[in-house]
């Protein structure tokens, strides 16, 4: 039996929605749409058909359909409902790596957000995306696209094809801790406790996956933060050194020059244009 084509939405930048659909809900677009379609399953199950079979999205799964890919999706026949947040969008040029997901079938991609914390984050930001896209702000599409980019950035943490997802979770925990406690005294022993690893295992795994030792990584973060503060503030160099964990301003200056090629004073003079300080 010939199926009835679902109307194709007009998408300039982004169109979104949050649906709770019952049994019998289905969409059919033989040639898809010219935009991308992102669907997060909140509850129930969604069925996605493709040429040689079908894929079932469960709560916590996020599905991506490329342009001109068959749209054959709806409530799974075994259930009564499907709750989903969706977005039709035209990606910004620099998003291509964020859309490089594992294919279930040609043009049909999916990720499983297995971390409860990550899923909550994606749900929250996707809901914000929908609220912005359907709001009354003058530049609502731009705001919604910014929020959607954040959704994709969070999804990247669960993407097995991304460098972020290939990091061991314990290494990521150590990295997060260092970034959040950048000015504190830090030891390998303390980081190992935070990561639930032995000192030797943390040192080996961190170097293997990140390419530097944990304390080298910490120094890089400190010096990068110092560079930001030198560029956008007029605070004294000694104060900035202390804020990023260096008690000795002379040693800070030596390490900073080795990191960026200029001493802090020269770097500030080169980067500031006279009206960027806050």
Which is more confident, 226 or 272? 226
Q: Is residue 31 part of a domain?
A: yes
Q: Is the pLDDT of residue 19 over 50?
A: yes
pLDDT of residue 89: 95
Say what percent of the chain tops pLDDT 70. Answer: 96
Q: Please state the rounded mean pLDDT for residues 201-207.
A: 93
pLDDT of residue 277: 40
Consecutive H or E run containing 126 = helix 116-133
Q: Is residue 153 part of a domain?
A: yes
pLDDT of residue 273: 59
Can you tell me the distance from the alpha carbon of 269 to that of 21, in angstroms, rounded to the nearest whole number?
59
- What string of DSSP letters covers 192-220? HHHHTS-HHHHHHHHHHHHSS-HHHHHHH
Question: Are residues 272 and 261 in contact, defined by beta-carbon separation less than 8 angstroms?
Answer: no
Question: Are residues 256 and 226 in contact, defined by beta-carbon separation less than 8 angstroms?
Answer: yes
Give 132's pLDDT tier (boundaries 50, 70, 90).
very high
Consecutive H or E run containing 55 = strand 53-58
| Residue 142 shares a structural domain with residue 213 | no
Question: Where a domain ends, among 144, 162, 180?
Answer: 162
Give 12's pLDDT tier (boundaries 50, 70, 90).
confident
| Range with lowest mean pLDDT among 19-23, 155-159, 161-165, 273-277 | 273-277
Can you tell me the distance from the alpha carbon of 162 to that of 100, in angstroms, rounded to the nearest whole number?
8
Residue 86 belongs to a domain with what CATH number? 2.60.120.280
pLDDT of residue 20: 95
Q: Tell me the whole-structure pTM to 2 decimals.
A: 0.69
| Range with lowest mean pLDDT among 157-166, 202-211, 240-249 | 157-166
pLDDT of residue 165: 62
Eight-class DSSP state of 96:
G
Domain span including residue 39: 14-162
| Range with lowest mean pLDDT among 19-28, 41-50, 74-83 | 74-83
Q: Please state the rounded mean pLDDT for residues 267-274.
A: 76
What is the chain's mean pLDDT, rounded? 91
Question: Where a domain ends, among 162, 193, 224?
Answer: 162
| Residue 20 shares a structural domain with residue 146 | yes
Q: Is the pLDDT of residue 80 over 70?
A: yes
| Residue 90 shares a structural domain with residue 156 | yes
Burial of 222-253, coded b for 16+ CB within 10 Å and e otherwise, reads bbebbbebbeebeeebeebbebbbbeebeebb
| Residue 63 shares a structural domain with residue 153 | yes
Q: Please state the rounded mean pLDDT for residues 134-156.
A: 95
Eight-class DSSP state of 107:
T
Angle at 217 between CA 253 and CA 268, to 5 degrees: 30
| Residue 129 shares a structural domain with residue 174 | no
Q: Is the pLDDT of residue 107 over 50?
A: yes
Question: Where a domain ends, among 140, 162, 184?
Answer: 162
Angle at 85 between CA 42 and CA 134, to 5 degrees: 145
| Residue 266 shares a structural domain with residue 136 | no
Can you tell me the distance from the alpha carbon of 165 to that of 175, in angstroms, rounded to the nearest whole number?
14
Which is more confident, 187 or 164? 187
Give the residues across from 110 on adjacent strands: 63
């Amino acid at each position: 039996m010939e199926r009835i084509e679902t109307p194709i939405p007009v998408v300039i930048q982004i169109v979104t929605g949050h649906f709770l659909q019952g049994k019998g809900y289905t969409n059919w677009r033989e040639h898809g749409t010219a935009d991308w379609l992102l669907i997060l399953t909140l509850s129930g199950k969604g069925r996605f058909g493709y040429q040689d079979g079908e894929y079932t999205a469960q709560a916590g799964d996020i599905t991506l359909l490329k342009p001109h890919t068959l749209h054959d999706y709806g409530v799974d026949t075994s259930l009564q409902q499907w709750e989903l947040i969706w977005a039709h969008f035209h990606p910004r040029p620099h998003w291509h790596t964020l859309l490089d997901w594992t294919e279930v079938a040609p043009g049909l991609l999916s990720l499983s957000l297995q971390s409860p914390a990550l899923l909550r984050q994606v749900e929250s930001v996707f809901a914000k995306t929908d609220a912005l896209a359907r709001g009354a702000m003058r530049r609502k599409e731009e705001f919604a696209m910014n929020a959607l980019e954040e959704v994709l950035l969070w999804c990247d943490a669960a993407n097995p094809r991304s460098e972020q997802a290939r990091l061991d979770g314990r290494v990521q925990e150590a990295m997060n801790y260092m970034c959040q406690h950048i000015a504190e005294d830090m030891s390998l022993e303390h980081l190992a406790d935070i990561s639930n690893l032995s000192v030797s295992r943390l040192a080996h795994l961190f170097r293997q996956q990140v390419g530097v030792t944990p304390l080298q990584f910490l120094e890089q973060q400190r010096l990068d933060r110092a560079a930001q503060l030198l560029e956008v503030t007029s605070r004294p160099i000694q104060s900035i050194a202390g804020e990023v964990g260096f008690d000795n301003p002379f040693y800070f200056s030596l390490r900073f020059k080795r990191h960026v090629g200029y001493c802090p004073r020269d770097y500030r003079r080169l980067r500031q244009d006279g009206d960027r300080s806050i």
